[in-house]
C-alpha cells in the first residue's frame, strides 16, 4: 500500500516548507495532513489488498512523538522565561548594595575614606602581601596580611602611606602576592568594590549597572558587602 509513502512525502514537504518559515509546521498541521491522507487511503484502498495495520500504527506513533516534542519545547520555553524573570528579580535586590567583582582598584575620597577591596585565594596561604600604588605606579603602602585561608577575604585600607601620612584623594591600584607553607605561589585574584546603581533589562541576561565601574553579570559578583 502507499499510505506510508504518501505520509513520508507529505512530512518531507512539510519539513521543506518549514525551512523557509520562521515558525515551521506545528504538530497540529501534521496531524491534519495525516488524517486527510488516511481518509483518502481508506476510501480508495483495494479490498483485495487492505492497508497494513502495522504501517498505520507506526505513522500514528510518529505523529504522537512530534506532538510530544512540541509540547516539551513549549514547556522548556516557559521554564526559560521564568528563570530569566527570577534572575531579573534577584538582580534588582542588589540595587544600592556594594559588591566585589574582579578588579584591582581602590578609590580614596577627600576625607581619606577608601573603598573596600578583596582577595580570592585558590588555596590557603601562609603569607599574603598587598602592594598599593598611585596613578604614577609608585608604591605608597605595603600591607602584610599574614596567613589567610582559601576563598574570599575582604579588607579596608585606612588611606595612609607607609609613613602614616594620608594620601591624596584619587584612584589607586594594588597587587597581591601569596605563597604557601612550601614557598610555592598561591593564585590570588584581586577584587574591587563597586556599587550597583541599577539593572539593565535590554538583553535576556540581567546586567548590573555599576556606574563608573561599568557593567557586570550576576555570575561576576564574588561577594555582596
Q: What's the number of domains the chain is made of? A: 1
DSSP class of residue 213 equals: G
Residue 167 within a domain: yes
C-alpha cell of 59? Answer: 505513522
Q: What is the pLDDT along the chain (225 residues), one digit of tens a residue?
A: 433 333 333 344 444 444 444 444 555 676 677 667 766 766 666 555 555 666 666 766 766 676 666 666 666 666 555 555 566 777 788 899 999 999 999 999 999 899 999 999 999 999 999 999 999 999 999 999 999 999 999 999 999 999 999 999 999 999 999 999 999 999 999 999 999 999 887 666 788 999 989 999 888 999 998
Cα–Cα distance for residue pair 189/191, rounded to 1 Å:
6
Residue 200 within a domain: no
At 36 the pLDDT is 75
> Partners of 174 in the beta sheet?
132
User: What is the spatial order of strands in the sheet that 207-209 belongs to?
Assistant: 198-200, 207-209, 215-217
Tell me the residue range of the domain where 169 lies. Answer: 100-194
Residue 186 within a domain: yes
Residue 51 within a domain: no
C-alpha cell of 86? Answer: 527570577
Task: Look up the CATH number of the domain holding residue 141.
Answer: 2.60.40.4070
Cα–Cα distance for residue pair 114/175, rounded to 1 Å:
16
At 6 the pLDDT is 34
Residue 162 within a domain: yes
CB 210 within 8 A of CB 220: no
At 5 the pLDDT is 34
- Per-residue buried b or exposed e for 103-130, using 16+ beta carbons within 10 Å of the residue's own CB: bbbbbbeeeeebbbbbbbbeeebebbbb
Cα–Cα distance for residue pair 86/79, rounded to 1 Å:
10
The sign of the dihedral angle between the CA atoms of 105, 196, 200, 87 is positive
Exposure on the CB side of residue 118, measured as CA atoms within 13 A: 21
Cα Rg, the chain, nearest whole Å: 32
Rounded to 10°, the helix 3-19/27-44 angle is 150
Residue 156 within a domain: yes
> Partners of 179 in the beta sheet?
127, 185
pTM score, two decimals? 0.62
Residue 37 within a domain: no
Residue 122 within a domain: yes
Amino acid at each position: 500500500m502507499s499510505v506510508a509513502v504518501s505520509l513520508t512525502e507529505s512530512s518531507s514537504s512539510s519539513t521543506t516548507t518549514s525551512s523557509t518559515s520562521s515558525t515551521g509546521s506545528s504538530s497540529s498541521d501534521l496531524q491534519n495532513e495525516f488524517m486527510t491522507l488516511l481518509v483518502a487511503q481508506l476510501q480508495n484502498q483495494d479490498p483485495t489488498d487492505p492497508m497494513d495495520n502495522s504501517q498505520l500504527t507506526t505513522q500514528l506513533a510518529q505523529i504522537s512523538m512530534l506532538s510530544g516534542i512540541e509540547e516539551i519545547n513549549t514547556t522548556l520555553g516557559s521554564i526559560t522565561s521564568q528563570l530569566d524573570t527570577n534572575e531579573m528579580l534577584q538582580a534588582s535586590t542588589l540595587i544600592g548594595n556594594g559588591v566585589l567583582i574582579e578588579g584591582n582598584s581602590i578609590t580614596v575620597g577627600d576625607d581619606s575614606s577608601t573603598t573596600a577591596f578583596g582577595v580570592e585565594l585558590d588555596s590557603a596561604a601562609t603569607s599574603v602581601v598587598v602592594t598599593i600604588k598611585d596613578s604614577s605606579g609608585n608604591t605608597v603602602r605595603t600591607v602584610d596580611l599574614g596567613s589567610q585561608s582559601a576563598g574570599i577575604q575582604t579588607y579596608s585600607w585606612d588611606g595612609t602611606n607607609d609613613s602614616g601620612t594620608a594620601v591624596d584623594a584619587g584612584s589607586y591600584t594594588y597587587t597581591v602576592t601569596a605563597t604557601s607553607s612550601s614557598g610555592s605561589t598561591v593564585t590570588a585574584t584581586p577584587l574591587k568594590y563597586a556599587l550597583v546603581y541599577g539593572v539593565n533589562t535590554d538583553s535576556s541576561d540581567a546586567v548590573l549597572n555599576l556606574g563608573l565601574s561599568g557593567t557586570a553579570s550576576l555570575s561576576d559578583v564574588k561577594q555582596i558587602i
